Amino acid sequence: MAAKEKTLNDLFLETLKDVYYAEKQAVRQLQKAAKAAKSDELKQAFTQHREESQGQVERLDQVFEILGKPARGKTCEAIQGLNAEMAEVLEDFGDSPAADAALIGTAQAVEHYEIARYGTLKTWANQLGMTDAATLLDETLQEEKRTDELLTRIAESAANREAGEDDEDEAEKPAGRGSAASRSAKSGGRREPA
């Protein structure tokens, strides 16, 4: 008898296992990241997302339940690579002034991976008529997107603070700390050439 042809259902299950593995790894990585972060704001962001990620694992448990399959992860080499990158970056930059920037950069790479996976899974769940699963996956997708945006805001506010300290004319500065030149440039609505 010929091997059974694989379907979108099979693909959905395999991808679910992949993200289950990735999410469990993320919980561990976020704990390390929170410990390594220098600024309180970043520490808090990582800690909060670690808690969220535990909830995300539980949502995945529910999706496995909907499928009637045991919740099981499958080694995801993409996330292993991203985690290895974080370890390397921490080794190289962990004690430098760029430590938080390095952490944000690697954490955002993980977020983007998760956003891709959850977006795809949500689409497939809808296609397969599993609307409850799609809703669960979308809740997590929105959390991942919010986390990504929060990390961008933290990175930008750090960049603005540094620009203020260095007093560079070209840099954008937060209100009240900028030079007269940059303020007038802003109020004129013009953008300084890079």
Residues binding Fe ion (CB under 5 A): 53, 56, 114
* Contact by Cβ (8 Å): 151, 104: yes
Q: What phi-psi label fits residue 167: left (phi over 0), alpha (psi between -120 and 50 degrees) or beta?
A: left
Q: How far is the CB of 137 from Fe ion (least distance, A)?
A: 11
Give whichever of 138 and 172 is closer to Fe ion, judged by the CB atom: 138
Length of the chain in terms of residues written = 194
What is the rounded CA–CA span in Å between residue 182 and residue 171?
A: 8
**Which residue, 29 or 56, has its beta carbon nearer to Fe ion?**
56
Q: Where are the alpha helices (DSSP H) in the chain?
A: 8-36, 40-67, 77-93, 99-127, 131-166, 180-187
In whole angstroms, the minimum distance from the beta carbon of 55 to Fe ion comes to: 9
> In this complex, which beta carbon is closest to Fe ion, that of residue 60 or of residue 89?
60
Closest to Fe ion by CB, 27 or 185: 27
**Shortest separation between residue 96's beta carbon and Fe ion, angstroms:** 27
CA dihedral 124, 125, 131, 137 (to 10 degrees): -110
Nearest approach, Cβ of residue 56 and Fe ion (Å): 5
Which CB sits closer to Fe ion, 36 or 115? Answer: 115
Shortest Å, Cβ 44 to Fe ion? 17
Residue whose pair of structure tokens reads 């440039």 in the numeric block: 185
**6 by DSSP, 3-state: which?**
coil
